[in-house]
Structure 1
C-alpha cells in the first residue's frame, strides 16, 4: 500500500510559523520512518521484537533530521534554521516517547534518542547533500546503522543494500518534497 503524504496547508493564504512547519515535518517524518520500517519487513527482513523495529524507525528519523538541516541551511538564515531543526527534533522526541511508551511500556525513550541524535549529527556532518540528494556515503551510513541494529543473521544480511539502494532514497525524496511543499 502506498503511503500518502499530505504536505500542503489547508489554507495556504496564511503564513505558517516555523513551529507549525516543524510540527508538520515531525509528523511526516514519523510516517515516512514507520513506512520504511514496514517496508523492510515486507521485503522479508526480520525484526526480533517491537523494540528493534522502533530503533529502526528512530534511525530513519535521525537521517531525516539531518536532511532537514541541510535543506534548511539553503533556505533559511542561521537563527531560523536553528529554531526549525530544534523544534523538529523536539517533536520527533515526542513521537518517539509516545509511541515507544505505547508499545513497550513506561520508560524514558526520549533521552536515548536525543543522545543518538547528537552522535549521528557529528557522524553525518562528514556527508553532503548535493543537488541530486544524499551522497553515497550519506546513504551508506544510514544503511550501516540499520544493518547494525538488525544484525547480520542470514535473513538480514542484505538490509544495508535495501536501505542504500531503495528505502533511503525513497525516504529522502518523499521528505524533501514535503519539506519544499510546506514552505511554499
Structure 2
C-alpha cells in the first residue's frame, strides 16, 4: 500500500486560543485535500474518472466518509456540546470549500445544497453501520466503495470497490486520524 503524498496542515499561523469552529475549519481543509488526493490517486492507478462532475461526486463521497470518521474520533473525547459544534462547523466548512472548488473546476453553479444533501444522507447511512471503536468496519468501507463505484458507473471501471476498500479508504483514515489528533489534541488510538 502506498502512502498518499499529501502534507497535512495542522498548525495555526496565528497564536492564541482557538475555538472548536476554528479547529473544524482546519480539519475541513484537510478533509478536502485528502478526498481530492484519493480521487487523484485512483486516476493514477488507472481508474478513469469521466469528467469534472464525476470527480466531484467521488470527492463528495470521500468527504462524507471522512466527516463520519472525524466524528467517531472525537466522540467521547469532546463534550457533547463541543462535538455537535465541531461536526456542524465541519459540515459548513466542507460545504464552503467544496462549493468554491467546484465553481472553479466545473463552472459557476449552486453546489452547496446538493453537497449538503448528499453528505447528510451518507452520514445517516453511516450511523446505521458498525464501527470498531473509532475505526470503520468492513461494512463501512464497503459502503464507501459502493458509493464511489456508483459515482464512477459511467466509466466502466472494474475493481473500484476493491481499490477503495483495500487502498484508498485505509490511507484516508490514517491521514484524517493524524489531522484530527493534532488539530484537536485528542487521542487517535
Q: Which TM bucket (shorter chain)?
A: over 0.9
| TM-score, with structure 2 as normaliser | 0.90
Moved more, 118-127 or 37-46: 118-127
Whether 1:15 and 2:17 are equivalent positions in the alignment is yes
Tell me the residue number matched to 2:99. 97
Q: Which residue of 2 aligns with 1:5?
A: 8
Q: Which moved more, 1:13-22 or 1:34-43?
A: 13-22
Residues 1:48 and 2:44 are matched in the alignment = no
Farther-moved stretch of structure 1 (67-76 vs 45-54): 67-76
> 2:143 is matched with which residue: 141, 144, 163?
141
Q: Does 1:172 align with 2:173?
A: yes
Q: Which residue of 2 aligns with 1:119?
A: 121
1:110: which partner in 2?
A: 112
- How far apart, CA to CA, are the structure 2 residues paired with 1:30 and 1:87? 14
CA offsets 1:90-119 (integer angstroms, 9 cap, x no match):
000001111111112221101001111121
* 2: CA distance, partners of 1:180 / 1:98: 26
- Tell me, in whole angstroms, the C-alpha distance in 2 between the residues paired with 1:31 and 1:68: 14
1:132–1:18 Cα change, 3 Å: closer
* CA distance in structure 2 between the aligned counterparts of 1:179 and 1:129, rounded to whole angstroms: 18
1:182 match = 183
Find runs of 4+ consecutive structure 1 residues off by over 4 angstroms.
none
Where does structure 1 lack aligned partners over 5 or more consecutive residues? none
Number of equivalent positions: 182
Q: Which protein is richer in helix relative to its size? A: 1
Q: TM-score, normalised by structure 1?
A: 0.92
> Paired residue for 1:83, among 82, 85, 88?
85
Cα distance in 1 for partners of 2:123, 2:134 equals 21
Query: 1:39 is matched with which residue?
Result: 41
The residue aligned with 1:158 is 159
Secondary structure of the corresponding residue to residue 47 of structure 1 = coil
Name the Cα RMSD after superposition: 1.7
